[in-house]
Amino acid sequence: MEVPFLDLRAQHRALEAELTAAFQRVLHDSVFVGGPELDGFESEFAAYCEVSEAVAVSSGTDALRLAYLAFGVRDGDEVITVPNTFIATTEAVSQAGGRVKFVDVVPDTLLMDHRQLEAVIGPRTVGVVPVHLFGTPADMGGIVNVARKRDLWVIEDAAQAQGARYRGRRCGGLGDAAAFSFYPGKNLGACGEAGAVTSSDRERLSAVRKLRDHGQSQKYFHDCEGFNARLDSLQAAFLRIKLRRLDEWNEARRQAASLYRERLKSLSEVALVEAPADTLPIHHLFVVRVPKREAVMAALRKRGIGTGMHYPVPLHLQKAYEHLGLGKGVYPVAEQAAREILSLPMYPSISVDQIDFVCESLRQFFAGS
C-alpha cells in the first residue's frame, strides 16, 4: 500500500470535467484579469467567511503584505506573531517596513499564547498576527482582548484555515482582517498561486484593492505606488468550483483526523496536538509529536508512507533572522515542538485502510525499537 503525504490528483480527477469547462469558458471570453470570475469568487468567498468583503490577490504572502500595509505598518513598527509558522507570516512584515516580534506558543495546541502578549508589547507595537496553524483556530478571545486593551489591530494568518470556526464563527472574520493562501496544497487550493484578504472594514479593504493594482483608483490614476498582486481570472474560476466542495472536504478531513486520534491514543510514544476549546478545526495538517522523529520518518518512508515537518526550524533560529539576535532557548515550547512534530498523510480522500496502515506502521516501529 502507498500512502502519499498529499493526494492532489484524486481531487482533480473528480473535478476534471468542471475545471476543463471553466478553462474553456475563460479562454472563450478571453478576460484573463479581473472580470466576472474574479468578482464572483470574491463575493462567494466573503459570504463563505461570513464577512462583508474579500479581495483576491496573487498569493497568501501578498495577502499578508498588503493587509499589513493597509493597516499602516511602516518604518520599524512592531508586529507580534509566533515563531512556529511559515516564513511568509514574518517576511511580509519586513517587506512592509515593519519589525518582527515573537511570543511563544501553548504546549498543548502549539498556537499563540495570549498570556505572553502583554510583556512584549512596546510603544512601537501596532498589531498582532495569530496563525491558525494546521487549520486550528488560535485562541482568538484572549488575543483580541489584549489587542483591544492596548489599541492594536489583529490580522489572522488564515492560510491554513479556510472554513475553520472559533466559537461558531469562521476564521477570516475573527480579527480586523485575515490573510488566506490558496496555494495548491491548502484545503482550498488553486491550480496555481492565489490568496485573499477578508475583512468587514471597507476602508482598509479598499486600500488593499488599490495596493493590489499599482495604487490605481481608476485606470492610470495612481493615488500611491502599489504592486501587481492581482489574481488571474482562471484561478478565480477554478477556486469558485472548489469552494463549493470545501465544507465536504473539510468534513472528510475531520473524520480522518478523528480516526487517527482514535487509533493513536493507545500508543504512548505518540502525543497528539490538541485544539483549543470551542473550535472547529479543518485539519490542513495532521500533526503528532514523536521521539526519534527522523527514524520514524525513515521507517514510514520505507513502507511507502509520506510524511512532513511543519516546521523543522522555528523562525527565530533561521539564518534569515540571525540579525534579530534571538538564540536557542528563547521560545522553548516552539523549539521543543520543532524537534518532535511529524505531519502524517492527510487529504479528504484518504481511506480508512490507509489510516490503519499508517497507525499500524507507527505501532510496529515503536514495538521494535
Ligand X SMILES: *Cc1c(COP(=O)(O)O)cnc(C)c1O
**Contact positions vs ligand X (CB under 6 A):** 59-61, 85-86, 88-89, 131, 157, 159-160, 181, 183, 195
Q: Which is nearer to ligand X, 109 or 160 (CB)?
A: 160
Q: Which is nearer to ligand X, 249 or 357 (CB)?
A: 249
Q: Which is nearer to ligand X, 263 or 316 (CB)?
A: 316
Residues belonging to the chain:
369
Q: Which is nearer to ligand X, 159 or 264 (CB)?
A: 159
Q: Is 174 exposed, middle or buried (0-12, 13-18, 19+ CB in 10 A)?
A: buried
What are the C-alpha distances in Å from 163 to residues 103, 132, 187, 250? 26, 11, 9, 8
Q: Which is nearer to ligand X, 153 or 180 (CB)?
A: 180
Q: Which is nearer to ligand X, 88 or 326 (CB)?
A: 88
- In the complex, the smallest distance separating the C-beta of residue 88 from ligand X, rounded to whole angstroms, is 4
- In the complex, the smallest distance separating the C-beta of residue 284 from ligand X, rounded to whole angstroms, is 8
- Closest to 75 measured CA to CA, from 53, 95, 97, 57: 97
- In the complex, the smallest distance separating the C-beta of residue 93 from ligand X, rounded to whole angstroms, is 12
- In the complex, the smallest distance separating the C-beta of residue 50 from ligand X, rounded to whole angstroms, is 21
Q: How far apart are CA 81 and CA 198, in angstroms?
A: 19
Q: Which is nearer to ligand X, 183 or 357 (CB)?
A: 183
- In the complex, the smallest distance separating the C-beta of residue 160 from ligand X, rounded to whole angstroms, is 5
Q: Which is nearer to ligand X, 86 or 166 (CB)?
A: 86
Phi–psi pair at 210, nearest 5 degrees: -70, -45
Looking at the DSSP bridge assignments, the partners of residue 288 are: 272, 342
3-state SS of 53-98 is: EEEEECCHHHHHHHHHHHCCCCCCCEEEECCCCCCHHHHHHHHCCC
Write b or e for each residue in 210-246: b if 16 or more Cβ atoms lie within 10 A of its Cβ, otherwise e.
bbbbbebeeeeeeeeebbebbbbbbbbbbbbebbebb
Q: How far apart are CA 209 and CA 203, in angstroms?
A: 10
- In the complex, the smallest distance separating the C-beta of residue 306 from ligand X, rounded to whole angstroms, is 18
- In the complex, the smallest distance separating the C-beta of residue 83 from ligand X, rounded to whole angstroms, is 12
Q: Which is nearer to ligand X, 138 or 207 (CB)?
A: 138
- In the complex, the smallest distance separating the C-beta of residue 179 from ligand X, rounded to whole angstroms, is 7
- In the complex, the smallest distance separating the C-beta of residue 287 from ligand X, rounded to whole angstroms, is 13
- In the complex, the smallest distance separating the C-beta of residue 272 from ligand X, rounded to whole angstroms, is 21
Q: Which is nearer to ligand X, 60 or 281 (CB)?
A: 60
**Nearest residue to ligand X, by Cβ distance, number only:** 60
